[in-house]
Structure 1
Amino acid sequence: MIKHLQTLPGHQNPVYALANADEDGIFFSAGNDKGVVEWSLLNMAFVKVKMPVQSSVYCLHYYNEQLFVGERSGAFSVYDLKKQEVITRTNAHLKPIFNIKTVQTKNELITTGEDGSVAVWSLSDFKEIYRFQAAYDTVRTIALSPDETEIAFGCKDHLIKIYNLSDYSLKQNLEGHKHPVTSLAYHPEKRYLISGSRDAQLKIWSLPDYELLQTVPAHMFTIYDIAFHPTLPYFATSSQDKSIKLWDAENFKLYKILNLEKAGIGHTHSINKIIWSRDGKYLISTGDDRQVMVWEME
């Protein structure tokens, strides 16, 4: 169903962030190194260091031929892939930025992180439009509903906070996890919201009412990422327990465990980030072991 294809070495320190480009087979990685790296899935090889960075990178986000880079310093940079240059760098937060998203329908950029504040920026000139305090402590993760009517924030205080995207008003708080919420994802057809936490559990929240439907004891330790396959009814999770798991998106049945023990090959440390290639042929994973791994759907 899914198997290890390639390990791409090169990073010297833990890797925290991955993002796809629109261009076929190009993706980016970054972390505790001094640069953002470009890779090719077509050649299964390193391409080049795309841009230097001034501090560790905790998140990457790609939109409209621009790469958004969120740093430990609280700054974000925007790299224009057409111009092949950094077009702006903004000191957005006083503490590290953990997540960046774009709201296509509003032409807005959203940043958040360790200071608990959420900043909204114009994608036209990267000026700040609005800022609000979503939590008193870290906001670790953001999920945008597919229709861009709602946005969910996963917080260190174990709450999930749902806001209306029209005016950024608070819609409701979801209490279910006992520990910090570290990963969030909406079902691509907005059937449910799924959350992962330091409590190692997945929680499935119904939509539109956000009732808790199911709790899945998914991993041994913190669940760092949740990624839905672009076309097939699966999602993958990655964890501090050094494993990736592939699940049925309809009934939450576990299909496959990818780790050293089960697959004979895998990450040796925490897996911080996973993404599917745009065509869904590959799952890309990375983490504290400094390796970028490519897994192929069979």
Structure 2
Amino acid sequence: MLKHLKSLSGHQNPVYALANSGKPGIFFTGGNDKGIVEWSLETMTFLKVLMPVKTSVYSLHYYNDLLFTGLRSGEVSIFDLNKQSVTALFQAHEKPVFDIVTIPGKKEFLTASEDGTVGIWSLDDFSLLYRIHVSNDTVRSIAISPTGQQAAFGCKDGLVRIYDLNDYALQHELEKHTLPVTAVAYAPNGKYLISGGRDAQLNFWSLPDYHLQQSITAHLFSIYGIAFHPTLPYFATASQDKSIKLWGSDDLKLYKILSIEKNTHGHTHSINKLVWSSDGRYLLTTGDDKLVILWEWE
């Protein structure tokens, strides 16, 4: 199903953020380095340092030829890929920005921070529209429902909070994790939400009622990423335990483990982020070992 294709080096420090671009075969990484790096899947090589940064990059998000960067400083930088220049840089939060997502239907984007708030910003002029206090501690991850009507926020206090995107009212507080929630993702078919945490659990919440459907001890340590395949009924998870696991999105069964303990290739340290290429041919992973690893679907 997945096999190691290539390990790419170039970063000098741990890598925390990873994002595809709108151009097939181009992706970006950022971390505890001095810049954001642009890579090519076609040549499987480092292309260039896209732009310098003053502090660590904790989140990257691509939308409509813009690359959004969340920084440890609490700033958000927006890079115009057509103009090849920074089009906006502003202090979005008092503390680090851990996740950024866009809501094209509302012409808004959201930022989640260690300060416990979520910022709602205009995609037209990048102005602040609202700020909601979600938690007394870090909001680590954001997922937008397939309908575009709800947002799930994974929080350090162990709760997943569901907000209505029409008026940003709190709808549900999902309590099952015993440690911080570090990843959330909605199934593309709209049947459930997955939350992953430092307790190594994957919790499956049925939609639209958000009742707990199933709980799986999926890894040995924290789950830092959940990514659904763009076309096939699978999703992948990545963990601090240095492993990547491939699951069936219909039957929730484990189909593949990619780990240095089980293969000749793999990450040697915590895996911090994973994404599928837009065509689903590759899974990209990165982490504390400074590597970007490409896994090919076969």
Alignment-derived partner of residue 144 in structure 1:
144
For 1:274, give the aligned amino acid: L
Identity among equivalent pairs (%): 61
2:220 counterpart of 1:220: yes
Alignment-derived partner of residue 13 in structure 1:
13
TM-aligned CA deviation for residue 291 of structure 1: 0.3
Alignment-derived partner of residue 80 in structure 1:
80
For 1:75, give the aligned amino acid: E
Alignment-derived partner of residue 240 in structure 2:
240
1:105-131 residue CA offsets vs partner (Å, 9 max, x unmatched): 100011111000111110110010000
Alignment-derived partner of residue 272 in structure 2:
272
Q: Give the distance between the partners of 1:22 and 1:146, measured in 2 at CA.
A: 20
Alignment-derived partner of residue 122 in structure 2:
122
* Structure 1 residues 1-298: aligned runs within 5 Å: 1-298=1-298
Q: Give the distance between the partners of 1:145 and 1:284, measured in 2 at CA.
A: 23
**TM-score normalised over the length of structure 1:** 0.99
1:204-243 residue CA offsets vs partner (Å, 9 max, x unmatched): 0000000000001100000000000000000000000000
For 1:116, give the aligned amino acid: G
Q: Give the distance between the partners of 2:13 and 2:190, measured in 1 at CA.
A: 36
Q: Which runs of 4+ in 1 moved over 3 A?
A: none
| Corresponding residue SS for 1:146 | coil
Q: Give the distance between the partners of 1:222 and 1:107, measured in 2 at CA.
A: 33
TM-aligned CA deviation for residue 147 of structure 1: 1.3
Q: Give the distance between the partners of 1:223 and 1:24, measured in 2 at CA.
A: 28
Q: Give the distance between the partners of 2:93 and 2:23, measured in 1 at CA.
A: 31
Q: Give the distance between the partners of 1:191 and 1:13, measured in 2 at CA.
A: 38
Instruction: Compute the RMSD of aligned alpha carbons.
Output: 0.5
TM-aligned CA deviation for residue 56 of structure 1: 0.2
TM-aligned CA deviation for residue 22 of structure 1: 1.1
| Corresponding residue SS for 2:231 | coil
For 2:64, give the aligned amino acid: N
TM-aligned CA deviation for residue 261 of structure 1: 1.3
Unaligned stretches of 5+ residues in structure 1:
none
Q: Give the distance between the partners of 1:109 and 1:209, measured in 2 at CA.
A: 25
TM-aligned CA deviation for residue 189 of structure 1: 1.6
For 1:35, give the aligned amino acid: G
